[in-house]
Amino acid sequence: MKVYRSIQDLPKIKNAIVTQGTFDGVHAAHKVIINRLKELAQHNGGETVVITFDPHPRLVIYPNDKSLKLLHTLDEKIEALDKAGIDHLVIIPFTKEFSKLSSSQFIRDIIVHQIGTKILVIGYNHRFGNNREGSFEHLKKYSPLYGFEVVEISEQEVDEVAVSSTKIRKSLEAGDIITANKYLGKNYQIQGTVLHGKKLGRTIGFPTANIHVSDKNKLIPNDGVYAVHILVNNKKYNGMLNSGYRPTVDGVNYSIEVHLFDFNEDIYNQFITIQYVDKIREEIKFDSLDSLKNQLEKDKLRATQIILAQA
């Protein structure tokens, strides 16, 4: 997949089959659109083009609203779309100025003049342009004028529930990893750098790697203990993660700590990936470190059972 950080960098493409959107999470409903895009490209001897935006439009339009957390960092989105088999990815820098572009200007300047779109594929509820004025009906009105075809994807359901990035976010915020992973079609993941901590875990036989997630907009599932996979130097390990305020030993500072099973290497300052499998329990304050250690033994057993059951 070729990646372009500006629409001006995209070369002329014969029979461009295009879709556009935020594609946060590249989840099951997104993949329906992507698969249709690929089918149309194959049928028309064309190439697939995905237009997306960075940062997420809501972060620009509502800068004081800190409630939106994202399923994907930009790098994760690029990787997911690459794996989905897209030919060209155009990342348009989203600014306040760009947000004022009307839907008709977007169609004329981007879809037609810059890309030369042959077929535009959109989801059933897709909106675009200033104040989200653009719609399928709007596109149908302009498409004969500019000579491109519009294909609308009907509402997609998974177990009779429409999949959306919002529903996945809500599942993760509730600690419902199973539902989130089902909608995503893969394990939800976070990535971060291993930093030095207080090393208290070593004293009770559970050394942990303290993870710093640099992207402040990345969604972290709600506090608690989770069964996870950890990718270190392209090798996968099993483990368990705790996110929260460690009420037994701290109770003040938020942290994300992961204990890797059968692992004894120095990974400080390394960038690692954590994939969530399922939630084990909520965070609990224990009366002593011995009580905490006993619970961690139970957590490790439970995490192992969860991971083996889903292998």
Q: Kindly tell me if the per-residue pLDDT of 160 is higher than 50.
A: no
**pLDDT tens readout for residues 249-260:** 776 788 999 999
- Full residue range of the structural domain in which residue 236 is found: 188-309
**Which helix (H) or strand (E) segment is 177 a member of?**
helix 177-184
The side-by-side arrangement of strands in the sheet containing 88-93 is 2-4, 88-93, 47-54, 16-20, 117-123, 149-153
Return d(Cα 139, Cα 127) in angstroms, integer: 10
In a domain, 167, yes or no: no
In a domain, 243, yes or no: yes
Same domain, residue pair 12 and 155: yes
Q: Count of residues for the chain?
A: 311
Same domain, residue pair 35 and 147: yes
**pLDDT tens readout for residues 192-246:** 999 976 666 666 778 899 999 999 999 999 999 999 999 999 899 999 999 998 7
pLDDT of residue 251: 65
Cβ atoms of 16 and 49 closer than 8 Å: yes
Q: Is 247 strand, coil or helix?
A: coil
Return d(Cα 262, Cα 120) in angstroms, integer: 50
Which of 117, 116, 119 is CA-nearest to residue 43? Answer: 119
In a domain, 171, yes or no: no
In a domain, 168, yes or no: no
Q: Which of 145, 162, 179 is the last residue of a domain?
A: 162
pLDDT of residue 130: 67
In a domain, 155, yes or no: yes
Record the pTM. Answer: 0.90
Same domain, residue pair 52 and 136: yes
